[in-house]
Amino acid sequence: MRVPMFQVDAFTNRRFAGNPAAVMLFDDFLEDAALQAIAAENNLAETAFLVPYGDDYRLRWFTPTEEVPLCGHATLASAAVVMERLSPQRRRVVFYSTSGALTVDRRSDVYVMNFPARPTKPVEPPPGLTEGLGARPVEAVTDHFNYLVLLETAGQVRRLTPDMAAINRLDRTGVIVTAPGDDGYDFVSRYFAPAKGIPEDPVTGGAHCALTPYWAERLGKTDFRAFQASRRGGEIGCRLLGDRVELTGGCVFYLEGQAEV
């Protein structure tokens, strides 16, 4: 069976930056094992699988090793596929997912996603976290999925070389590291998730669902210009709207074709 496939760089306006995602379209979802095998074959941080659902789409996301409940950059890439390739006249699409209905609007050359916020609570840094990061946290908080660690400076975040084996042994699937921003950004971050088959994710929408309310409380405002300081790097516009988060970014197409599955 041949199916349409796209590879899109998300949260960027230039090719070979941001976070690459595969987007594949099916009439119906294949068995989970088949979807997982396809995601492993694609070997990107995320593969998004789309299935028509009325005028909109159902959406699932897989890393090379597991299905995840939410993925920002692959949702952004999926919106670009729908509104730039499948239905270029559209300005809005709704994706139905395990995280509920996710609305994405096209505004000029960017996309605005509406996601559930992820509030955090303070915790003591768990054993192995400081050693795994190679840096001492100013504070640590957690949501249901990740630890979120504050460092003193953006330079510390940029220079981190974590011990991935140690990070993998923690009792959360990922670690978000953040600090006050530089170069005109409100904050910077990086995200490490070896337990999900992603040692470092280049740009992470889900992490910013926690970072946005976290920095809103620290800085006393609700709109942010954020930068994820991975090797590829990516820019994210963030806005807190009550218990929701708006994440804004651009997309660049890299590959379009068909896959034999």
- Residues known to be catalytic: 46
The residues that bridge with 104 in the sheet, in sequence order, are 93, 113
Contact by Cβ (8 Å): 178, 149: yes
126 secondary structure, DSSP code = P
CA distances from 95 to 14, 47, 83, 99 (A): 25, 15, 13, 10
Per-position b or e across 173-194, b if 16+ CB within 10 A of its CB: bbbbbbbbbeeebbbbbbbbbb
Query: What's the CA gap between 122 and 192, in Å, rounded?
Result: 19
Task: Report the sign of the C-alpha dihedral through residues 226, 224, 46, 260, in that order.
Answer: negative
Q: What type of residue sits at position 207? A: A
Q: What type of residue sits at position 244? A: R
Q: If phi over 0 gives left and psi between -120 and 50 gives alpha, with beta otherwise, what is residue 63? A: beta
Task: Report the sign of the C-alpha dihedral through residues 60, 61, 67, 70, in that order.
Answer: negative
Parallel, antiparallel, or unpaired: how do β-strands 110-116 and 100-107 relate? antiparallel
